[in-house]
Amino acid sequence: MTTTGTLKSSSSELDLDRPNIEDYLPTGSSIQQEPHGKLRLHDLLDISPTLSEAAGAIVDDSFTRCFKSNPPEPWNWNVYLFPLWCCGVVFRYLILFPARILVLTIGWIIFLSSFIPVHFLLKGQDKLRRNIERSLVEMMCSFFVASWTGVVKYHGPRPSRRPKQVFVANHTSMIDFIILEQMTAFAVIMQKHPGWVGLLQSTILESVGCIWFNRTEAKDREIVARKLREHVQGADNNPLLIFPEGTCVNNHYTVMFKKGAFELGCTVCPVAIKYNKIFVDAFWNSRKQSFTKHLLQLMTSWAVVCDVWYLEPQNLKPGETPIEFAERVRDIISHRAGLKKVPWDGYLKYSRPSPKHRERKQQNFAESMLRRLEEK
């Protein structure tokens, strides 16, 4: 009975999220005005469900919707509101932005003037050095949040350092890490980035035990899995933070969680993050925008507003597989943050569909055509 309920739930999710091609077709009144005998788009799509599905995917598919920003509706559309909008632009770019640059510059000066001596002069005292570096990284992240006029509301108990536990969170932008890091010095597993972000990863963030991977190298998976198991065993290591979606999603959906964090044999602590889009869309589309431009967008907005929930720790239940465990935790995070679940693998954003998937679709289309020909 439970299985049936799960299947029904999954089916309803898919039906609810499936694009409705009817929304993009002409209305009934306009169709009736067309002359008889003329082939309409509606008639063409009725030829095959596969054709209708393909048209829906071209117009608006649930996978693409997970990875695109939805621009806010313009509000400066009349003569009364437009001057107010212009005043807001001037204030944000000429007053707020320089002030935020100053805050960030002061933060970097304080951080580097403290971090460099501590990192090199306290090499013989590892425990003291790690504690100071943790505090400095938390402080620097607080400066970053201040440079966005960040308004972050934390719910639940503050994370503590304990062995055999891992924190997992939904992922909207790289700033997720900064927002969580200002509260607790997490060691995060993250994609290796180029440029100044990569320089920070290989120098400063190495000090809190962060682990990096590269999607293009297959050997990295084995190395990362070994490092994860070693990290969660250490009692003095920083809490491990993983974004199991593996990519940034636009804070309206959650895609499939990778099972790596759920087969470590340790307690999983869910973290739900929800951004309020009233002031700025915090989603980072890394394929269209560099992180520098993303930061500039945040620093020229009014504020970054979000809620963070530290939820009840979860453990693997008897007879439960790591994949089922990952889905259960995804349910908890999605429900708390008000996000819609979709059955997609986020890595599809970086790769083409497999040949087997294409062949299966082709086979289904061929079978449907043969059935229609046989009926006639």
pLDDT at 209: 77
358, pLDDT greater than 80: no
- Decide if 192 contacts 198 (C-beta within 8 A): yes
**Residue pointed to by tokens 């927002």:** 179
H-type alpha helices, 61-168: 62-65, 81-91, 97-121, 126-147
Task: Give the percent of the chain with pLDDT over 70.
Answer: 75
pLDDT at 12: 43
Burial class (CB in 10 A: 0-12, 13-18, 19+), 72: exposed
320, pLDDT greater than 60: yes
Q: What is the pLDDT of residues 47-60, one digit of tens each?
A: 556 556 665 555 55
Contacts of 116 (CB under 8 A, 6+ apart): none
The arithmetic mean of pLDDT across residues 183-210, rounded, is 77
pLDDT at 48: 57
pLDDT at 30: 44
Q: How far apart are the first and last CA of the chain?
A: 41
Q: Identify any residues that bridge with 275 across adjacent strands, giving them in sequence order.
A: 306
Confidence label for 351 from pLDDT (cuts 50, 70 and 90): low
pLDDT at 108: 94
The arithmetic mean of pLDDT across residues 208-237, rounded, is 74
Kindly list the distances between the CA atom of residue 34 and the CA atoms of 27, 28, 40, 46, 88, in Å, as whole numbers in the listed order.
12, 10, 9, 18, 48
Judged by average pLDDT, the poorest of 131-135, 223-227, 267-271, 347-351 is 347-351
**In angstroms, rounded to a whole number, what is the distance separating the alpha carbons of residues 212 and 218?**
13
Query: pTM for this one?
Result: 0.75
Judged by average pLDDT, the poorest of 56-60, 130-134, 301-305, 334-338 is 56-60
Judged by average pLDDT, the poorest of 2-16, 162-176, 177-191, 334-348 is 2-16
Q: Which tokens belong to 32?
A: 């009736």
197, pLDDT greater than 90: no
20, pLDDT greater than 60: no
**In angstroms, rounded to a whole number, what is the distance separating the alpha carbons of residues 232 and 230?**
6
Which of 217 and 333 is assigned the larger pLDDT? 333
CATH of 66-349, one of 3.40.1130, 3.40.50, 3.30.499, 3.30.56: 3.40.1130
pLDDT at 10: 43
Residue of 369, 357, 356 whose CA lies nearest to 50? 369
pLDDT at 333: 96
Please report the beta strands in 257-362, taking only residues with DSSP state E, as ranges in sequence order.
Answer: 267-276, 304-310, 340-341
Specify the pairing of strand 267-276 against strand 304-310.
Answer: antiparallel
Confidence label for 335 from pLDDT (cuts 50, 70 and 90): very high
Specify the pairing of strand 150-155 against strand 187-191.
Answer: unpaired
Calculate the average pLDDT of the chain.
79
Which of 74 and 146 is assigned the larger pLDDT? 146
Confidence label for 46 from pLDDT (cuts 50, 70 and 90): low
296, pLDDT greater than 90: yes
Neighbours of 326 (CB within 10 A): 21
Task: Give the percent of the chain with pLDDT over 90.
Answer: 34
Residue of 203, 215, 206, 210 whose CA lies nearest to 228? 210
What are the boundaries of each domain within the chain? Answer: 66-349
Residue of 192, 256, 191, 260 whose CA lies nearest to 222? 260
Residue of 123, 147, 268 whose CA lies nearest to 207? 123
13, pLDDT greater than 50: no
Q: What is the pLDDT of residues 84-132, one digit of tens each?
A: 889 999 999 999 999 999 999 999 999 999 998 988 888 778 788 888 9
The 3-state DSSP class for residue 69 equals: coil
**In angstroms, rounded to a whole number, what is the distance separating the alpha carbons of residues 171 and 275?**
11
350, pLDDT greater than 80: no
The arithmetic mean of pLDDT across residues 328-339, rounded, is 94
pLDDT at 159: 83
